[in-house]
């Protein structure tokens, strides 16, 4: 884990952010000895963002199933 001084962090912010993405987090230590952690936020995914499943059914077959299902009602 890399620790930057406050001054070095100010001068190299883009590098610091890139390191946090690559390594998971970066520490910044100020003159008072306090330490802060910078880490990238996890990307939020929609619960509806699911991988499709290939059932091997063509569009025409799906439409036929729908029409056949509506005829029986």
Q: Taking the model in full, what pTM does it have?
A: 0.57
pLDDT attached to residue 2: 86
For residues 28 and 49, which has the higher predicted lDDT (pLDDT)? 28
Report DSSP state, residue 33. S
Which residue blocks in the chain are alpha helix, DSSP H? Answer: 6-11, 13-23, 59-71
C-alpha separations of 11 from 14, 17, 21, 34, 55 in Å: 9, 12, 18, 19, 54
The angle at the Cα of 34, spanning 28 to 22, to the nearest 5 degrees, equals 20
Class of domain 1-41: alpha beta
Tens-place pLDDT, residues 33-69? 999 999 999 888 888 888 889 989 999 999 999 999 8
35-45 tens-digit pLDDT: 999 999 988 88
pLDDT of residue 37: 96
Whether the CB-CB separation of 30 and 36 falls below 8 Å is answered with yes
- Residue matched to tokens 């990307």: 43
């Amino acid at each position: 884990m890399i620790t930057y001084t406050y001054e070095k962090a100010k001068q190299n912010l883009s590098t610091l952010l890139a390191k946090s993405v690559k390594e998971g987090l970066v520490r910044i230590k100020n003159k008072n000895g306090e330490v802060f952690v910078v880490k990238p936020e996890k990307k939020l995914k929609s619960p509806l963002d699911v991988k499709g499943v290939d059932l091997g059914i063509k569009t025409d077959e799906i439409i036929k199933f729908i029409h056949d299902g509506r005829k029986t009602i």
